Amino acid sequence: MGEKITKAEWERKAQLTPEQCRITQERGTEPPFTGEYWNEHAEGVYECVCCGQPLFSSAAKFDSGTGWPSFFQPLDRERVTAGPDTSHGMVRTEVTCSRCAAHLGHLFPDGPAPTHARYCVNSASLKLKKRE
């Protein structure tokens, strides 16, 4: 885990696609079953699309049936930050990158053993570094 990273809005817009900006900076979400990684089965590490911090291993990825990439644990709990999200009339736990505060998705308590956690993450907030 590295130092906190902050970038100006113009820097983010130059680095990210409009969809990546909407999701990571404006706390948006992609429609289910549409993101690049919801049905990805390659081995590797999923990094934050904004700062490159390694977040999740493909070994922790599972098919939740929700249409978003789902993980039962991060590579390191200190790489993601969880906090309350009361938007859209719901009470959920938002998950963000601990280095750059990019919105990743949400955390739910209905995942598989051993953690029973489901990190439901937007594909647009991730970049897969495939194992060679």
Interval 58-70: pLDDT, tens: 999 999 999 999 9
User: Residue 3's pLDDT is what?
Assistant: 74
User: Residue 42's pLDDT is what?
Assistant: 97
User: Residue 86's pLDDT is what?
Assistant: 87
Both ends of the chain: CA-CA distance in Å? Answer: 23
Structural domain boundaries of the chain? 9-130
User: Residue 1's pLDDT is what?
Assistant: 52
Residue ranges in the chain whose pLDDT is less than 70: 1-2, 7-13
Q: Evaluate whether the domain defined by 9-130 bears CATH number 2.170.150.20.
A: yes
Catalytic center residues: 120
